[in-house]
Amino acid sequence: MKLTTFMTGAAVALGLATSGIAADKTKVGFVYVGPVGDGGWTYEHNEGRLAVEEAFGDKVETVFVENVAEGPDSERVMTQMALNGADLIFTTSFGYMDPTINVAAKFPNVKFEHATGYKTADNVSVYSARFYEGRAIQGHIAGKMTKSNIVGYIGSFPIPEVIRGINSAFIHARKVNPDVQFKIVWAYTWFDPAKEADAAKVLIEQGADVVLQHTDSTAPQAAAQKAGNVITFGQASDMAQYGPLPRVSSIIDNWAPYYIERTKAVMDGTWTTSNRWDGISAGMVGIGEISSAVPADVKAEALALRDAIANGSYHPFTGPLKKQDGSDWLAAGEVADDGTLAGMSFYVEGIEGDIPQ
């Protein structure tokens, strides 16, 4: 008996908590997988949060919890934010996907935004960035600037997101330099500065004079600087402190425009479920300043490529393209569809080596 009463009470309270929010301030919650001080992934999401505060001033209140483990801890943190009156919650790691869906089902009036996932619901949107667009520009510069024709690539885990980036960079490097080869090393970590530094050093020792990274620390930049005559690109954040050499440009995760737009939509009551995959055009993927170390003509081509991608006249995955095994993928002029890109688990023709299973 007592248990039933308790449960009814809980249900009522839950209902109250979700519907009875004072409407004067919009409350936005952020769940981070790493520390704000990681200088990479979480750092950039937090910059987005600060931009929301800046844009709306005292009409908005933001809260965040950092270092939240994927799994039950994240579910609890999201629930706690929803109970405390959050109107909109950004969950910023792939591993939060199922927890986000679970919590969203309990709080139909709270909006959820899950980064890099693929499951949506009435009150759950997903968003991700087309980083591969930036990779195309990196590939172009790399292909033009390499003298050894060996481009090193530090991967984190062999997942579609990373494979897409490798393919995009490779396609555009080959386009301007038919002799270029990619050397790919998997670090099996998103964040282990010492290991990333080691991976960069190994690639350089094996002849790479361009190092691309899909891990978030500046360790590879420092390794390249020490080695000399190697160029790199900033990842996640601009890493401008390593310019003009070795860092010649960067891909910046810029979540601010999206976070501001979605917060505004909640304020205006116009929020609807969406599946957003934005790139350079929407400003979600930023191309950092191309440094003076890049020759003027290469820089001009790179900027032209950026503009073509931004205005939609060019797609980085445009046929004719073949898969690594030589089978046809895209016919001439054909453009890859988002479904294939989202689940990409093959290399394009010309890349050597296998994707680890």
Partner 1 sequence: MMRLEKRPQASQGFAYATPLLAVAATFFFGGLLFAALGKDPVEAIATIFWQPLFGEFAFYYRPQLLVKGAPLVLIAVGLSLGFKAGIWNIGAEGQYIVGAICGAAVGLACYPAQSALIFPAMVLAGALGGWLWAMIPAVLKVRFGTNEILVSLMLVYVAEQLLASMSLGLLKNPEGYGFPGSRNLQQYPSAHNAELIAGTGMHWGVVAALIAVIFAYVLLARHRLGFAIRVTGEAPRAARFSGVRPVRLVLFCLGTSGALAGLAGLFEVAGPAGQISIDFNVGYGFTAIIVAFLGRLHPIGIVLAGLLMALTYIGGDIAQSQMGLPAAAIQVFQGMLLFFLLAFDLLTHFRLRLGRTEAV
Partner 2 sequence: MDISVINPILLVAALMGAATPILLAATGELVVERAGVLNLGVEGMMIIGAICGFAVAVETGSPLTGFVAAAIGGAALSLVFAFLTQVTLANQVASGLALTLFGLGLSALLGQSYVGVKPPKFDDLDLGALGEIPVLGPILFSHDIVLYFALALVAAVWLVLRFTRFGLLLRAVGENHDAAHALGYKVVRLRVLAIMFGGACAGVGGAYISLVRVPQWTEGMTAGVGWIALALVVFASWKPWRVLLGAYLFGGITQLQLNLQGAGVAIPVEYLAMSPYLITILVLVILSADKSAAPASLGRSFHASN
* Cis amide prior to 295 (ω within 30 degrees): no
Interatomic CA distance for residues 30 and 66, integer angstroms: 8
Smallest separation (angstroms) from partner 1 to the CB of 4: 10
Binding of residue 53 to partner 1 (CB under 8 A): no
Provide the mask over 125-154, with x wherever binding to partner 2 is found by CB under 8 A and - wherever it is not: ---------------------------x--
Nearer to partner 2, 256 or 336 (CB): 256
Provide the mask over 229-258, with x wherever binding to partner 1 is found by CB under 8 A and - wherever it is not: ------------------------------
Binding of residue 308 to partner 1 (CB under 8 A): no
Show contacts with partner 2 in window 301-330 (CB under 8 A). none
Q: Which does 313 bind (CB under 5 to 8 A by kind): partner 2, partner 1, none?
A: none
Binding of residue 160 to partner 2 (CB under 8 A): no
Give DSSP secondary structure letters for 181-241. Answer: EEEEEE-S-S--HHHHHHHHHHHHHTT-SEEEE-S-SSHHHHHHHHH-S-EEEEEES--GG
Binding of residue 43 to partner 2 (CB under 8 A): yes
Closest CA to 244 of 293, 303, 302, 300: 293
Interatomic CA distance for residues 307 and 304, integer angstroms: 5
Show contacts with partner 1 in window 82-141 (CB under 8 A). 83-84, 94-95, 98, 102, 118
Binding of residue 18 to partner 1 (CB under 8 A): no
Residue 10: what are its φ and ψ, rounded to 5°?
Answer: -60, -45
CA distances from 142 to 28, 56, 259 (A): 40, 40, 32
Q: Which does 201 bind (CB under 5 to 8 A by kind): partner 2, partner 1, none?
A: partner 2
Binding of residue 228 to partner 2 (CB under 8 A): no
Provide the mask over 90-129, with x wherever binding to partner 2 is found by CB under 8 A and - wherever it is not: ----------------------------------------
Binding of residue 159 to partner 1 (CB under 8 A): yes
Closest CA to 233 of 203, 208, 210: 210
Do 185 and 203 meet the contact criterion of CB atoms below 8 Å apart?
A: yes
Q: Which does 43 bind (CB under 5 to 8 A by kind): partner 2, partner 1, none?
A: partner 2
Dig out the tokens for 176 from the structure.
């301007």
Binding of residue 356 to partner 1 (CB under 8 A): yes
Tell me which of 142, 180, 185, 231 binds partner 2, using CB under 8 A.
185
Residue 149: what are its φ and ψ, rounded to 5°?
Answer: 60, 20
CA distances from 297 to 142, 269, 311 (A): 14, 48, 21
List, in sequence order, the alpha helices (H) in the chain: 2-19, 41-56, 72-83, 97-106, 131-145, 160-176, 193-205, 219-227, 256-268, 296-310, 338-342
Q: Among positive and negative, which fits the CA dihedral 20, 22, 26, 29?
A: negative
Residues 6+ apart with CB under 8 A from 47: 255, 256
Question: Residue 127: in which H helix or E strand, if any?
Answer: strand 124-129
Tell me which of 55, 65, 265, 308 binds partner 1, using CB under 8 A.
65
Count of residues binding partner 2 (CB under 8 A)? 38
Residues 6+ apart with CB under 8 A from 348: 167, 170, 171, 321, 322, 323, 324, 329
Nearer to partner 1, 83 or 310 (CB): 83
Q: Which does 102 bind (CB under 5 to 8 A by kind): partner 2, partner 1, none?
A: partner 1
The residues of the shown chain that bind partner 1, judged by CB under 8 A, are 3, 6-7, 9-11, 13-14, 17, 29, 35-36, 63-73, 75-77, 79-81, 83-84, 94-95, 98, 102, 118, 157-160, 163, 188, 342-345, 356-357
The residues of the shown chain that bind partner 2, judged by CB under 8 A, are 34-35, 37-39, 43, 152, 183-186, 188-189, 191-195, 197-199, 201-203, 205-207, 217-219, 222, 237, 241-242, 352-354, 356
